[in-house]
Structure 1
Amino acid sequence: MSNIPPLNQTVPDLADLLASARVVALPLATRFRGIDEREALLLEGENGWAEFSPFVEYGDAESATWLRAAVEFAWGELPAPLRRSIPVNATVPAVHVDRVTGILKRFDGCRTAKIKVAERGQSLVEDLSRVRKVRELMGPEGRIRVDANGGWNIDEAEHAIHALAEFDLEYVEQPCATVPELVEIRRRTKYMGVPIAADESVRKAADPLTVAEAGAADILVLKAQPLGGIRRSLDIIAQAGLPVVVSSALDTSVGLSMGAWLAAAVPDLEYDCGLGTASLLSADVTDDPLQAVNGSIDVRRVVPSQRLLDGYAASAERRDWWLDRLRRCHALL
C-alpha cells in the first residue's frame, strides 16, 4: 500500500506542471551532504512558486511525496500564518575547525548553531574540535545543537554525547539510525539532561508518528517537502504532541518559503528552525533570498529571477532527467 499522503485539492494536469517547470543547479559555498551543487525543479501555480527537490538518490515513491508538497504549496489551500518571521539556526557542515569562523559569519545574528558530527571518515576528536570552536565564537549564551544523521551506533552515541555534554547542548539530532536505537540511547543518556531529536526517523518512516509513540525522542525535526506538505506536517505535529523544529533539505529560497510557512503555522514554536540554509548556497534563484537577517527569515512567497533561472539553469541532460522524474512522480499521484 502506498504511504504517499493525500492532497487537499485536485492534482493539476501534468501539462500544467511542465509548462512552468524550471530546473536549476546551484553551487554550494561549502561541500554539504556529500555534494557541491544542489539541483531543484521549480513550479509556478495559482498561489505562486514551489519547489520539488528530492535528493537524486531517492526513488520515485519517496519523491512523489515531495511533489505532493510542491503541488499543495503552489495550488492548494494553506493555513493562515500565525507569525511573520521565523528565528533560524546557523548550520555548520562537517568542516575543518579552521573554516568554522567563516561559515558562522554567513548567518547574520543567529543565536543558535547546528553542527554536523559523525561524518564518515572523521573522528570524534574532529567533532569535539568543531563544536568547541562554535561554543567559543558564540559564547555561553549561544545555543548549540549537533546532528549525527544516524551515524553512530548506540555505544558510540553514548560515548559521544558524554564527551560533547561539556558544551551545553540544546539537543542531539538523530544520534542513531533506527527507532529502537533512539529509544535505547535516550534511556542511557537521560540522566545527562540532553534531549534527543529525531529527523530521518520521522521523514523517512512509513509512519512518522512511530518515533513519538515509541518514546524515542524529545523533539521532532520536520521538513515540509519530505512529509508531503504543510497540512500533513501540521497533522503530525498535532498527533505527536512533541515540540518541533521545522527544517529544510538544502532548499532554494523557494523551498525555504514553504518551510517558513509551515513554521509560521505551528501553534507553539519553541525552538529556532533550520531554515537558514540559503546561506550555504553560493547562488540562489532570487535577488531577494531568504537568508537570516538578525537571526530570522521572513514568512513570504519568493519569486524567482528570470536572470538567475537562466544563469543557473541545469544542463539539458539534467533538465531532461528531472522532467522525466516529474512525469513518473506525477503518475504516482
Structure 2
Amino acid sequence: MLPPLTDLLEAASVVRLPLRRRFRGITEREAVVLEGPAGWGEFAPFLEYGPAESARWLAAGVEAAWRGLPAPRRTRVEVNATVPAVPADDVPAVLAAFPGCRTAKVKVAEAGAPFGTRLAEDLARVRAVREVLGPAGRVRVDANAGWSVPQALEALTALGEVGLEYAEQPCATLEEMAEVRRRLAAAGTPVPLAADESVRKAEDPLRVAGLEAADVVVVKVAPLSGVARALEVAAACGLPVVVSSALDTSVGLAAGTALAAALPQLPHACGLGTAALLAADVSARPLLPVDGALPVGPARADRELLERHRADPGREAWWRRRIADCHAVLAAGAGG
C-alpha cells in the first residue's frame, strides 16, 4: 500500500526542532511528518543514513499515516528517563524532566576523549543517576557500540558495581557481544546485555538468540519498517523486548507506544520518553512522561507548530529529494 510519490510529497511537512541539550552529537532534530487518511506518521532517519536504510523509516511513516496502528493491550506505557553524556553535576536537572520515572538510561562511551577519561566520566554520571534514583531505581547504560571487547569488559566491570539493569549495545557486532556476555558470566559480573543497533532487519533477532549475544532486545519502529514488522521481530526473538525511540517527535513516539501497547508482555520500561529532550515539538500535546508513563493513543501534529518550526527552503528541498529516493527503493521492492 505504497502511496504515489506525489501524495507523499503533498502530505509532508519538514520541521527543524531544537534540543534542550546536545544528544547524539546534534543540537537540532530534523524530521518530516506525514498526514494521511489514517492519521499522522513520521519520517526522520538520521542524516547519515542512505536510501536503502532510510526507506524502512519511510515505510513506517506510511504505515502510521495510511494504514493505521494496531489495537492496544494496555492504555499506558512505563518509560525510562534518558540521560545524555552530560557532566555528573547536570544529572539532577536532566532527570527532573522525566517526572515519576524510576528507570534511567545513561549514555556512555561517547566518542572523543581517551577511553580512561571517558570511563571516569561515565562512572561519575552513572553514580549521580544512582544517587538521584536511590537503591530501588533501575539504571541501564547505552554504549551505542562504542567499546571494543576488552574495553567493554573493563567498563562494565566498573559500572556494574553501581548496579545495572542491563547494558545496551556495548560492542558493534553480535559476535563481540556474545564474547562479552560469556566473559562477564565467567567472571561473575552480573550485567545483562541488550542488543539495539545490531537489530535492524527481520533476521537479526534470530541471530541474537542463536549466538546467545543478549538477554534483552531493543526494538524501534522506524528502523524495522513499522509496527507490524516490529511485532514480528519481537515475536521471533524469544527474548524480553524494550521498545525505544530514535529521538522522534511526538508523532513518531505515538507509533512507539502503539508497538509497546500491542506486545503480549512488556517487562521493562521503554525508551519512549525522549520528547523531554526536545525544546519544541510538532504536537500541541507532546508525549511527555507523567508519573513515569506515556498514554497510548494517536498524536496529531499542530499546523501552527508545523509552520513555526518549518525548515528553511534548502533543507526542505533536501528532505523532499530524500523522500523521492526512498519511495523509489520501496517501489522497487528493495526496502521495508
Shift of 1:46: 1.4
CA change 1:177–1:331 in 2 (3 A) is same
| Preserved contact between residue 160 and residue 190 of structure 2 (Cα < 8 Å) | no
- For 2:46 and 2:174, the matched residues in 1 are separated by 23
Shift of 1:277: 0.2
Which letter does structure 1 place at the counterpart of 2:265?
A: D
SS in 2 for 1:200: coil
Alignment RMSD:
1.1
SS in 1 for 2:199: helix
Q: Paired residue for 1:46?
A: 37
Q: Paired residue for 2:4?
A: 13
Shift of 1:213: 2.1
Q: What are the equivalent positions in structure 2 for 1:229-248 lying under 5 Å apart?
A: 229-248=226-245
SS in 2 for 1:270: coil
Shift of 1:205: 8.3
2:92 corresponds to which of 95, 101, 116:
101
- For 1:156 and 1:133, the matched residues in 2 are separated by 22
Query: C-alpha offsets along residues 225-268 of structure 1, whole Å, 9 cap, x if unaligned?
Result: 00111111111111111001000000000000010000000100
| Preserved contact between residue 202 and residue 209 of structure 1 (Cα < 8 Å) | no
2:82 is aligned with 1:91: yes
CA change 1:225–1:331 in 2 (3 A) is same
Count of aligned residue pairs for this structure pair: 324
Q: Tell me, which stretches of 5 or more residues in structure 1 are unaligned?
A: 1-9
Shift of 1:209: 2.9
Identity of aligned residues (%): 58
1:197 corresponds to which of 194, 197, 208:
194
SS in 2 for 1:145: strand
| Preserved contact between residue 90 and residue 113 of structure 1 (Cα < 8 Å) | yes
Q: What are the equivalent positions in structure 2 for 1:207-226 lying under 5 Å apart?
A: 207-226=204-223
| Preserved contact between residue 217 and residue 240 of structure 2 (Cα < 8 Å) | yes
Which letter does structure 2 place at the counterpart of 1:144?
A: V
Q: Tell me, which stretches of 5 or more residues in structure 2 are unaligned?
A: 331-336
Q: Paired residue for 2:334?
A: none
Which letter does structure 2 place at the counterpart of 1:269?
A: L
- For 1:269 and 1:280, the matched residues in 2 are separated by 24
Q: Paired residue for 1:310?
A: 307
Which letter does structure 1 place at the counterpart of 2:76?
A: S
Q: What are the equivalent positions in structure 2 for 1:245-324 lying under 5 Å apart?
A: 245-324=242-321
Query: C-alpha offsets along residues 289-319 of structure 1, whole Å, 9 cap, x if unaligned?
Result: 0000000011111111111111110010000
Q: What are the equivalent positions in structure 2 for 1:135-214 lying under 5 Å apart?
A: 135-190=130-185, 191-203=188-200, 207-214=204-211
Structure 2 length as normaliser, TM-score? 0.94
2:66 is aligned with 1:70: no
- For 1:281 and 1:205, the matched residues in 2 are separated by 30
Shift of 1:215: 1.1
Q: Paired residue for 2:333?
A: none
2:224 is aligned with 1:227: yes
Shift of 1:207: 3.6
